[in-house]
Amino acid sequence: MNSFKYISASSIEEALVKKVASRDSDFLGGGSNLVDLMKSHVTNPSALIDVTQLPLNEIKPHHNGVIIGATENNTNTANHQLIRHDYPLLTKAILSGATMQIRNMATNAGNLMQRTRCGYFYDTSMPCNKRVPGSGCSAIHGHNRDHAILGASQHCVATHPSDMCVALTALEARVRIRYAPRLTREMPINDFFRLPGNTPHLDNHLKNNELIEAIILPKPEYAKNYYYLKVRDRASYAFALVSVAVGLKLKGKYIEKARIALGGVSHKPWRAFAAESWLTGKRLSDSNFSQAAQIEMRSAMALEHNAFKIELAKQSIVRALQQASGESV
Amino acid sequence: MNNLSKLIGDPVSRVEARLKVTGAARFSADIPMENALVAYPVLSTIGSGTIRFIDVETALKVKGVVTVLTYTNAPRLSAPTGPGVLPYNLLFTLQDNVVNNFGQYIALVIAETFEQARYAASLITVHYNQGQGVYSFHDNVDNATSDPHVLTRDLRTHILRGSPDEGRGLGSVHVQESYTIPYEHHYAMEPHVAMANWTASDSFVVYSSTQQVITEQQTLAALFNVPAANVQVIAKFIGGGFGAKTYTWGHILLAVMAARYTARPVKLVVPRKHLASTVGYRPYIDNRIELSATPQGTLTFIGHHVISATDVRRLYIERAGEVTPHLYTSPHLEVLHTGVNLNMPYATIMRAPGATPGLFALESAMDELANKLQLDAVQLREINEPANDPSTGLPWSSRNLVACMHDGASAFNWFSRNKNIRDQKRGKKLYGQGMANATYPAGRQPSRAQVIFGFNNQVTVRLAATDLGTGTYTILTQVASELLGIPMNQITVEIGDSALPMAPGSGSSIGASSWSNAVLAACRNLLQEFIRLLDSSSPLYGIPIEDLVCRNGSIQHKDDESRSQGFIDILAQYNNSNNLSAMGLTTPPPATHAYYSYGSHFAEVSVDVDTGEVRVERWVARFACGRILNLKTARSQIEGSIIWGIGMALMEESFIDTRLGKFVNNDFGGYHVPVIADIPEMDIGFIEEYDEAINETGVKGLGEVALAGVAAAIANAVYHATGRRIRNLPITPDKLLGV
């Protein structure tokens, strides 16, 4: 039997000490992805350190924004009145993901830490650089309809599956990380996630001895003009083919500030910096939206089965901008 | 003798419903078996070649592991022979070192617990000699041949009526297109399971999740070289099968082998991710349709060339052209079935095989023809409505397809819709309406049934039928209740056991018609048995059976209630016993008519102009399927079919990695079936149909007909909405970008 230790951490300090003490250990939140990975022998942790009893489940005001505890579940986060009222983009994104049952189990930090749903990553009989570094990528020349069009490398074309993280990226959330019993650091969520490069086994910059403690949302600016568009193969309970999170700060008919992130297109939630900067100061119009989408997709590269995502992403960016700006329906 | 009184039977809830919703219903994997071991299979990870060496040493050292079976030590199987026995050596498992496809069984770990077995299985390493496999349908489509197939032996692969060239020449409007169906999987909710126990050196029992307890019994007896009577196959409840639980697949053989090898009961539940390659699927199909018609819409030629993917040993091809010769009239017709040999796992029958993929093509092509002719889709079909079966010349036993179309069209407001293409834009959505027809053969198989009358007016109905969740227990309770005049709560139906009287299992929509007629025969014989006991002291003495009816536990003269005697009284008085039983047998006579069920679908869809997402907004469907035994279970079957069809139309697709013949999206995360949010309100109705010619109960079968045509109705509605014709299922957002 592939036995592993189960440790329910009663303090953050204990969790960190145990994490360092056991090689190849993992923190356990809701387990909605990790347990699947263990059953498939994709990951074989020597110990699971359950963090769900840690006092990290608060959602409360923080400076001008809100701080969201790492272990609060996705359902409660989406429905918290501070989030619903000030960050409805986040609510909409979370509620478009998975199912109620999974959202009830899944934690916020776990959502950040979930692995790609690339079928080859889950199949231990196939090479995968993310699972076994250096073994090769089966998807690049295999079946790759669901794979990345932005920021991929010759070593990995996987996508990040989260909806929540796409909204967090558009909202410029920060991730607070405990790296020693009394020391924390913060980093913008866009820096937290990695592109695959030649280290596709690393999804993000969290180190082995570190624990996500909270997600910090800056002051709310997009509670009025926002949209989360998720395009998928069925009406619910499917990962995004392409998703777009948009927050706009408007001055009359003009865009003072735009924040756009895409899901389903890259190894990380894709912050559309080029489109954002092009839109700044521009008038709300379909042609401007379209231009922004074109600019963002200039660097997109298609594989054999996912070329449609480039056009779909463009149309989805335009649509999400229209919806966020109150243009059209 | 009582008759079934209603053409549309009462909507009785499932008699086993409480057992199921309380968890008390024991499915095969739930049966407790003392001292049972657990088995976990290992699958091949190449698509073609031979096994050089399997290293099981590490696995054998895992605590709790009892043994590992491979081709080197597995019990040998006998090649089954005999009339009606399928050459199951094609499904031989662990008998040699040949790998014909990715995901083929190559080893079985047997351990004390599931976790031990699964972990040990992950430690087995296999060394192969790689072969040159052929995996791509598209690259090999030109190599299709009409060589025979095992499971489709009865299929006439080439049907020619008149002359194709003459037919084309008579027409002035033509449609010639290719319509493709992707690889699709059954993925029933209940896992595939086999729990085997050898009770003596030459006899064993298997708790299986099978649609066919009798054929499974016969198959296993042949493979393990024991008398059929020594094999008992039990499947009391089944959580969906859809054809994947019809044939005896490798896991069942493995469980029986493992139980023999270890001399202990062995339980094998096929892991979800193994299903893609081990229990069949619908093969990839290219339907090449040709239609020619006069300007008035009279068909002059129908051509249907089916090119189906198949495996290298040609177990199965899809009979997608099966109903094509029988749906519409045309003086000239050619139907051809061919298969492309690939190193793919065995495909099999799946949910309305043949008609479902075939009618997606034919009914899409009819829509294209109607558009070219500027005829209404319903009108075009009416113009080509045949008076008799155009293929055999036989009269229809009943055919109310036109009534289905008219009734459905009226409920849908079909004729008052906006007929223009791409002309219903509301906000960001384009709306459109489409229709398509459905048909499926209404067959029957020989079936026995036993009816036992017992103490306190308790009646037991026994036959080796199965219930997939479709309502077998319920409809047979209703039939026996009505025929014997005994309340339903005094009737027990025993099915799902090969030790019961021979009956077909669930499949091909033949269950209800076969079983209801067998129960009818048994009830009639039981009544005869009662009459035979009487002497002149009975008020019933001398009354011919035709003039007798059963009411409230008594036999009565149909016109004179005073001439009556209770079942119990008859037994007490004339037989000095409290039970009496009779067997019934029904055997379909040679066909005097053409037997088909029919239906007509009307669909409204919306298509998002930016994202290409399709939603089904509205559904109306009408069916003519002979006598409906139970309105509720019938409606559930129809709804299930339409939901399945919506999945087929919009999302179902198993992708293969053409380098290996490996199904990539082999779980419910990657293989999409509809969720509730994908399904609209449905208006479903039945045409009252009294079919005297088909069989005594007038039941035609409706388990599958409703799935045929669904995908075409949606594709036709998508065309109407957008002006874009999608001929390659499923209709996913990528195919509708830019509409």
Q: What is the pLDDT of residues B216-260, one digit of tens each?
A: 999 999 999 999 999 999 999 999 999 999 999 999 999 999 999
Q: Give the count of beta carbons closer than 10 Å to the beta carbon of residue B89.
A: 15
Q: What's the rounded Cα separation, in Å, for the pair A189 and A271? A: 10
Residue of B496, B601, B574 lying closest to B207 (CA atoms): B496
* Element of type H or E holding B98: strand B98-99
Whether residues A319 and B45 touch (CB distance < 8 A) is answered with no
User: Residue B693 burial by CB count (10 A; 0-12/13-18/19+): exposed, middle or buried?
Assistant: middle
Interface check for B612 against chain A (CB to CB < 8 A): the answer is yes
Cα B207 from Cα B220, distance rounded (Å): 13
CA separation for the pair B456, A177 (Å, rounded): 74
User: How many Å apart are CA A196 and CA A198, to the nearest integer?
Assistant: 6
CA B6 to chain centre: 26
Cα–Cα nearest to B603, from B729, B438, B728: B438
The Cα A79–Cα A329 span in angstroms is: 24
- State the Cα–Cα distance between residues B307 and B284, nearest whole angstrom: 8
Counting Cα atoms < 13 Å in the Cβ hemisphere of A177 gives: 19
Contact between chains at A125 and B45 (C-beta distance less than 8 A): yes
Cβ contacts of A138 on chain B, cutoff 8 Å: 657
Query: What is the identity of the amino acid at B390?
Result: P
Check pLDDT > 50 for residue B343.
yes
Characterize B705-726 residue by residue with b for buried, 16 or more Cβ atoms within 10 angstroms of its Cβ, and e for exposed.
bbbbbbbbbbbbbbbbbbebeb
> How many of the other CB atoms lie within 10 Å of CB of B229?
11
Beta strand ranges found along chain A (DSSP E):
5-8, 25-28, 47-50, 59-62, 65-69, 174-180, 183-188, 211-217, 225-231, 242-251, 254-263, 270-271
Write out the two tokens for B165: 């060239």
- Is the pLDDT score of B56 beyond 70? yes
Say what the pLDDT of residue B526 is: 97
Residue spans of beta strands (DSSP E) within A57-202: 59-62, 65-69, 174-180, 183-188
| B22 contact partners, CB below 8 Å, separation of at least 6 | none
Residue B84: pLDDT over 80: no
Give B358 to chain A, closest Cα distance, Å. 24
How are beta strands A5-8 and A47-50 bridged, if at all?
parallel
Look up residue B634 and give its two tokens.
């019938």
SS3 B494: strand
Name which of B115, B669, B677 is nearest A1 (Cβ-Cβ).
Answer: B115
Is pLDDT above 90 for B456? no
**Residue B670 and residue A117: Cβ atoms within 8 Å?**
yes
Quick one: DSSP state of residue B641? H
> What pLDDT does B707 receive?
98
Looking at residue B151, its pLDDT comes to 81
What pLDDT score does A327 carry? 58
CA–CA distance, A293 with A278 (Å, rounded to integer): 10
Interatomic CA distance for residues B433 and B596, integer angstroms: 26
What tokens were used for A296?
Answer: 């963002």
Bond prior to B730 in cis (omega within 30° of 0): yes
User: What are the two backbone dihedrals, phi and then psi, of residue B122, each rounded to the nearest 5 degrees?
Assistant: -70, -15
Candidates A125, A239, A319; nearest CB to B610: A319
Which amino acid is located at B340 in the chain? Answer: V
Residue of A nearest to B64 (CA): A1
The CA distances from residue A186 to A83, A87, A98, A173, in Å, are 21, 20, 28, 10
Q: Band the pLDDT of B11: cuts 50, 70, 90.
A: very high
B487 and B481 Cβ atoms separated by less than 8 Å: yes
Residue type at position B155: L
Whether B659 sits inside 8 A of A142 (CB atoms) is yes
d(CA A328, nearest CA chain B) in Å: 8
- Could you tell me the pLDDT band of residue B87, with boundaries at 50, 70 and 90? confident
Contact A141 B733 (CB under 8 A): no
Nearest-angstrom CA–CA distance, B720 and A44: 52
| CB proximity list for B170: less than 8 A, separation 6 or greater | B292, B294, B300, B301, B331, B332
User: Using CA atoms, how far apart are residues A264 and A242, in angstroms rounded to an integer?
Assistant: 5
Q: Which residues 517-576 of B have a C-beta within 8 angstroms of A?
A: none
pLDDT at A329: 35
Alpha-carbon span A18 to A244, nearest angstrom: 38
Tens of pLDDT, residue by residue over B362-388, are 999 999 999 999 999 999 999 999 999
Would you say residue B156 has pLDDT above 50?
Answer: yes
- The pLDDT score that the predictor gives to residue B61 is 97
Q: In what order do the strands lie in the sheet containing B560-566? A: B548-551, B554-557, B560-566
* Candidate from A1, A117, A238 with C-beta closest to B119: A1
> What is the pLDDT, as a whole number, of residue B266?
98
Residues 377-436 on B with a CB inside 8 Å of A are: 427-428
**Tens-place pLDDT, residues A278-322:** 999 999 999 999 999 999 999 999 999 999 999 999 999 999 999
Chain B residues 108-167 with CB within 8 Å of chain A: 115-116, 118-119, 122
With CA atoms as reference, the chain B residue closest to A315 would be B610
Residue B59 has pLDDT above 60, yes or no: yes
Phi, psi values for residue B602, rounded to 5°: -130, 125
**Among the partner residues B273, B427, B650, nearest to A329 by beta-carbon distance:** B427
Q: Nearest Cβ partner of B669 from A117, A143, A315?
A: A117
- Tell me which of A120, A233, A262 to substitute to probe the interface with B (most B C-beta atoms closer than 10 Å): A233
Closest by Cβ to A315, choosing from B610, B672, B676 = B610
Question: Which residues from A are below 8 Å from B657, CB to CB?
Answer: 138, 142-143
CB contact set of A23 (below 8 Å; sequence gap of 6+): A46
The C-alpha of B62 sits at a distance from chain A's nearest C-alpha, in angstroms, of 7
Q: Cβ distance A182 to A140 under 8 Å?
A: no
Which residue ranges of chain A lie beneath pLDDT 50? 328-329
Chain A residues touching chain B at CB-CB below 8 Å: 1-2, 39-41, 117, 119-120, 124-126, 138, 141-143, 145, 229, 231-239, 241, 308-309, 311-312, 315-316, 318-319, 328-329
Helix (H) or strand (E) holding B309, with range, is strand B299-311
Angle between helices B631-650 and B355-373 (to 10 degrees): 70
Which positions in chain A touch B670 (Cβ < 8 Å)?
Answer: 117, 119
- Neighbouring C-beta atoms of residue A209, cutoff 10 Å: 12
Interface predicted TM-score (ipTM) of this complex, two decimals? 0.97
Tokens of A245: 């999170």
Report, as an integer, the average pLDDT of B533-545. 94
Write down the pTM of the prediction.
0.97
Kindly report which listed range (A153-162, B130-139, B149-158, B276-285) carries the lowest average pLDDT score: B149-158
- The residue count of chain B comes to 739
Please, which residues bridge with residue A228 across strands? A245
CB pair distance less than 8 Å for B733 and A231: yes
- Tell me the C-alpha to C-alpha distance, in Å, between residue B5 and each of B9, B483, B485, B569, B627: 8, 9, 12, 27, 10
| Cβ pairs A/B, distance under 8 A | 90
| Cβ contact B62–A1 (<8 Å) | yes
Predicted pLDDT at B577? 86
What is the rounded CA–CA span in Å between residue A234 and residue A241? Answer: 10
Check: CB of residue A168 under 8 Å from CB of residue A189.
yes
- Please report which confidence band the pLDDT of residue B710 belongs to, taking 50, 70 and 90 as the band edges: very high
**Residues 6+ away with beta carbon under 8 Å from B633:** B12, B14, B470, B471, B474, B475
What are the counts of helices (DSSP H) followed by strands (DSSP E) for chain A?
13, 12
- Which pLDDT score, from 0 to 100, does residue A328 have? 43
For B113, the closest chain A residue by CA position comes to A1
**Residues of B with catalytic function:** 704
Q: What is the pLDDT of residues B101-123, one digit of tens each?
A: 999 999 999 999 999 999 999 99
Nearest to B202 by CA among B238, B235, B231: B231
Closest chain A C-alpha to B119 CA, distance in angstroms: 6
% chain B with pLDDT above 70:
99
